[in-house]
Structure 1
């Protein structure tokens, strides 16, 4: 008894749905006669009978999806020689002239290629395979059709097809920190309805202030100014410094300012935290920012550095970014990202064209907790403090 199994029809399939049987139990079939149609996500293919004989049993019903290798039906072979040909392992093929091929030779070809040959009235055993394995392809059949139907005087020479060896893709492990990052990002994106608001900031005055302080040995990291301005804005708009507690139907406004600093490390994205940032001076913030950055790059972050934050910021400007839609650090309600600062021609209040150092920012927030107008008001407050750093310094007194 010969088993007709679902096999890969050349599309890299792993499973298929039984669409239609072309025979019934008791029917006599011949070798290569289509017996069943199988639907994949790419095509509908006919599977041929491997031998001549009688259909004895149909095992899998129409409409059922099965894996490659599943037996679909049984055929009782009418010729013992065909049984041994199908059941014995195929030896390594040695090329031989087509004229010496045996009439019972089993040509390697997909069901679709066999159907293409039948539709053109071609004996597939007469088609020469271009593939070194001896498998006849669709292009082989079409070239054969063209060669046999075109006038001899206008027939063009068949260009031998160049084949390339397929290479397997390289794999990298998906585990550890990378897997945890994926888990956290998925949780945030599938839980929080994200909205991203974009704004631009004139950094000219702040950069001039930093340049003025630098000769005096006060080279303050720009992120320290951002944190101080954010703390002022968050006190004015505390809904962005909060966590949504759905279980108790309330929004919890945070009182302690623990700033998460999204940081790229050799192991992936990490968020070390500056705790009680509102109690630190600009110089102290600068020192902690430098220390956290160094420990993150050296893989020396401590457990205390990775405790939960209340608000997260990301400065990707040094990497060259001009904009993004950041994913919120769940369960926080907002995340702000700062992008590349570059000189642009702007029009001032006197309608004069001036060169200013402009930076883009993007802030994603939880639309369940806050609305767009509140987000605009929040970023306007932040922008005003950065564009007028003397006002920011007055807020810190």
Structure 2
């Protein structure tokens, strides 16, 4: 079957929309007509060469409508509205204990370029193209395993829902599933992108007393306050650690670091109170710590959190319900782009103009 897809042919090159071939779904797979796809930092990192092998079709925040189902698929049908999320095997020790985000085959299934059965579904001129996150949603159609798929209600704009599959799930899930802060406690959120602002909405939903957001873009800090932040700090104009400790009388109970910037990670650790806990979400590099002074003597906890410690089929419908009730307005993060403008959408995300770009691919 011929489809159009945004092809990543080489490292650091713009995406090119061309016609390629996609194979029919196998027994435990479905064919999805892609309606829209969010653009995530992980897509941008992959263009830089830090993801799946080239050539590839990227995209991992897809939403769409099922057009065909494999012979073993019983809980999904043609016409269902769905959101695509990360890939997992559903049979390893991590998956079987409810930690699908830490599937032992995570790297292989999401970044290895092949689908569950270790074959390729995307081809052009006899060459295989890597699949990304088991979906490759920067295309008019995708084939995905049933584990990638979350069935959603028909009464919500499907164009909005793709980012729930990664960025919004990561931010909200880190608060709700990983940190699980008590009502009345305090949290510092470093970075006011889609992940950080989703964490703000989750923290507000859970009734935290102090929700402190740190960023360098004033427009994002203003939106953070609109979404429930009690304090918005521009790290370019003040000492973040001192200010956080002043606001909270000694430091926050919890923190989330979404930027991956080493100095920001260190600030996040230093702004914790005794026995505080920080979740590292951003993809970062080396950070220098004095383990005794920074961690041991104050009993602090550092944890890495992938995909918000969420099982998509549980977490995403929950967020949609909160959205329908007016409690989680993630639509305020989104700006729509035409598929042909996908490279501009990446650029606007990089410069901070747009928080969560979503490219409209189908209808």
Q: TM-score, normalised by structure 1?
A: 0.23
- Higher relative contact order, structure no. (Cα contacts within 8 Å, ≥ 6 residues apart): 2
Q: Which structure has the larger Rg?
A: 1
Q: TM-score, normalised by structure 2?
A: 0.24
